[in-house]
Amino acid sequence: MRTPRSSRPLLHGRHLVLAISGGIAAYKAAYLARRLYEAGSQVRTIMTEGALRFLGEQTLAAITGHAVVTTLFGSKQAGPSPHTELARWADALVVAPATANVVAKVANGLADDALTATVAAFDGPVVLAPAMHTEMWQQPATARNIRLLEEDGRCLVGPVVGELAAGDSGMGRMAEPEEILAAVAGVFDDSLSGLRVLVTAGGTREAIDPVRYVGNRSSGKMGHELALEAARRGAEVVLVTTTAPPDMPCSVEVVPVESAEDMAHQVWTRASALDAAVLAAAVADFRPADVAGTKLARSDGPPQIVLEPTPNVLAGLVERVEPGTTVVGFAAETGGIDRAVGKATTYGVDFVVANDVTSPGSGFGTDTNQVTIISAAGERTPLEMMTKRDVAGAIWSHVTTLREDGA
């Protein structure tokens, strides 16, 4: 396990679920929750029935500011499906302590309570801190279960030798909260740490009059996921967006804009200070040449709207960035992505991300996307259909690879 230089930057703004099972080490979970919170994470908690015998749920609620989930059924505060809701919300799950019982259940895919059901519904990193008596830790069944967890890519921290329940001592003591904190930070990608990046999102609106505008169908979801993923990987992010984003960590500066002119100004004035930029916004190519000062009236008949080109935000950024800045463009096409190749090879960008918005599951407003990465030489790398969060991860990984190859 790699221990990060500092847990705070990697955990800042993270969504963490702390799941507590029924062992005497549960009392340490309150301090762990506090340390995760102090590192800048948002923390929500799950407690098993056994955990409630060692630690009061009000303690965790007071530390985290959220009600504790204790059951899959009948909890109005937890919602109709607490395990799936928590799994979608979380960036990582932390199970501390993880008793022999919970280790066995998670290793074998059982999901009969709120804790194990949430783990089963979650597709991100899971950190487990085993805690049990030495005899239980030394059981062949426990050893098999630990191997299964390791094969599944679960992160295990501890146990260690020390004092146990009832005055016993030996292997099986839960790792200390500070070590667990470092392990949680270690599961996150910090490949963008120390970098300042800019992301654009949404579709621009070009005014016809004070009420109406020329626009497009972009929801901004792809750009918002790119900003969130960059922040998760440790970057300082500027998000220039035309649509309201979801809650962002404080490492993301949100800059609201409306028109292509607004976006160009905000992007270009920051160009010289950037390490990387991903321009995912759908910028209008044309705008009304003359904007009416008052609302156009139906009684006056259809207006004659003359269009003029908008500023080319991507081309202008390429002209202004310092050498070594990674610039990524987007191309939303219909009926194929051949035109995107020309954009990739002529704009001076590092690569273009292209998608056909008429393809099922890949259009505006969807939660999924199927994109092709096109290099500056015109080489195409198609990606499979995946969530926009996963697409964002693939894009930033490609940026990281290019920067490392060019170092």
Whether the CA torsion 75, 99, 179, 121 is positive or negative: it is negative
Q: Which residue has the higher pLDDT, 405 or 100?
A: 100
Mean pLDDT of 14-18: 93
The string of pLDDT tens digits covering residues 19-74 is 999 999 999 999 999 999 998 889 999 999 999 999 999 999 999 999 999 998 86
Q: What does the pLDDT read at residue 78?
A: 60
Q: Which residue has the higher pLDDT, 81 or 372?
A: 372
Mean pLDDT of 346-368: 90
33-37's contacts with Cβ under 8 Å and 24+ in sequence apart are 33/60, 33/63, 33/64, 34/63, 35/177, 35/178, 35/181, 36/11, 36/94, 36/181, 36/184, 37/63, 37/64
Q: Which class is domain 7-186?
A: alpha beta
pLDDT over threshold 60, residue 6: no
Mean pLDDT of 121-135: 93
- Name the percent of the chain in helix, strand, coil, to the closest 5: 35, 25, 40
Mean pLDDT of 275-279: 98
Q: What does the pLDDT read at residue 129?
A: 95
Active site residues: 216
Q: Which residue has the higher pLDDT, 72 or 222?
A: 222
pLDDT over threshold 60, residue 8: no
Name the CATH superfamily housing domain 196-406. CoaB-like (3.40.50.10300)
The encoded tokens of residue 166 equal: 């009832």
Q: What is the rounded distance in angstroms from the CA atom of residue 355 to the CA atom of residue 333?
A: 6
pLDDT band at 222; cut points 50, 70, 90: very high
pTM confidence score = 0.70
196-406 matches 7-186 in CATH topology: yes
The single residue listed with the structure tokens 């800042």 is 12
pLDDT band at 16; cut points 50, 70, 90: very high
E strand segments, 14-65? 15-20, 42-47
Proportion of the chain above pLDDT 70, given as a percent: 96
Q: Which residue has the higher pLDDT, 325 or 14?
A: 325
Q: What is the rounded distance in angstroms from the CA atom of residue 392 to the CA atom of residue 369?
A: 10
Q: What does the pLDDT read at residue 241?
A: 98
Q: What does the pLDDT read at residue 249?
A: 77
Q: What does the pLDDT read at residue 75?
A: 63
pLDDT over threshold 50, residue 4: no
Question: Any residues with CB less than 8 A from the CB of 362 and at least 6 apart, and which?
Answer: 355, 356, 368, 369, 370, 371, 385
Average pLDDT, the chain: 91
User: What does residue 224 show for φ and ψ, rounded to 5 degrees?
Assistant: -65, -40
The encoded tokens of residue 102 equal: 């919970």
The string of pLDDT tens digits covering residues 149-200 is 999 989 999 898 888 887 888 899 999 999 999 899 888 888 898 899 999 9
Mean pLDDT of 258-280: 98
- Radius of gyration (Cα) for the chain, nearest Å? 25
pLDDT over threshold 70, residue 135: yes
pLDDT band at 215; cut points 50, 70, 90: very high
pLDDT band at 348; cut points 50, 70, 90: very high
Report domain extents, the chain: 7-186, 196-406
Proportion of the chain above pLDDT 90, given as a percent: 73
Q: Which residue has the higher pLDDT, 406 or 322?
A: 322
CA angle 336–340–344, rounded 5-degree value = 155
Mean pLDDT of 270-297: 96
Calculate the CA 241 to chain-centre distance. Answer: 17
Distances (CA, A) of 89 to 129, 137, 185, 306: 21, 32, 17, 46
The encoded tokens of residue 323 equal: 């050498």
Four-point Cα dihedral 50, 53, 59, 64, nearest 10: 0
Region class of 58: left (phi > 0), else alpha (psi between -120 and 50), else beta: alpha
